[in-house]
Structure 1
Amino acid sequence: MIVCHCMSITDADIQRAMEWMRAADPETIITPGKIFRALGKSSDCGGCLPLFVDTMRKSDSLEVPMQLRGLRHATTKERDE
C-alpha cells in the first residue's frame, strides 16, 4: 500500500527500513525522520504523516528497547528529590 505519494513510499518500505534500523542498532529510537533518511528520501507535504505513523505502530520493530524504558520517569523522580 502506498503511504506517501509524494515520495512513493509503501508500507513495505517502512517495515523494511524499521527492521534494518533495529538490526543495525537494537537500541535506536525509530522516528519517521530516520525512516525517511534510511530510504534516502525526505518529507514533502507532510500529509502522509498520520498514515506513516500508524504504519510504524503496527510493526514489532517500533518497540522502545527495554533498557531505555522508564528513563523519563527516572529523571522526573531525581528532580523531585
Structure 2
Amino acid sequence: MMICHCMSISDRDIRSAVDWMRASDPDTIITPGKIYRALGKKTECGGCLPLFMDTMRQCDSFEVPEILRGLRRATPKETSDEGRRKGYRVP
C-alpha cells in the first residue's frame, strides 16, 4: 500500500527500513526522520505522517530498546517564575 504519495514510499519500504535499522543496531531509536533518510528521501507535505507512524508501529521489529523502557519524563517545575526574585522587572 502506498503510504507517502509525494515521495512514493510504500508500507513495504517502511517495514524493510525498520528491519534494516534494527538489524544494524538493536539499540537504535527509530524515528520517521531516520526512515526517510534510510530510504534516501525527505518529507514533503507531512500529510502521510499519521499513516506513516501507524505503519512503523505495526512492524514486528519496531520496539523501544530494553535500556530505555520504563523511563519517565522529567516533571516540569511547579512554579512558573523561572527562579526569579519577586519584583524582577526587565528594564
Sort the TM-score into its range (normalised by shorter chain).
0.7 to 0.9
Distance 2:19 2:66 in 1: 17
Number of residues of Structure 1 aligned to a counterpart in Structure 2? 75
Structure 1: 4+ residue segments shifted above 3 A: none
**What's the counterpart of residue 15 of structure 2?**
15
Q: Who wins on radius of gyration, i.e. which is larger?
A: 2
The structure with the greater share of residues assigned to helix is 1
1:69 matched to which residue of 2?
69
Sequence identity (%)? 70
Residue type at the aligned position of 1:12: R
How far apart are the structure 1 equivalents of 2:38 and 2:7? 13
1:2-81 equivalences under 5 Å are 2-72=2-72, 76=74
Please report the TM-score for the alignment, with normalisation by the length of structure 1: 0.86
The alignment's TM-score, normalised by the length of structure 2, stands at 0.77
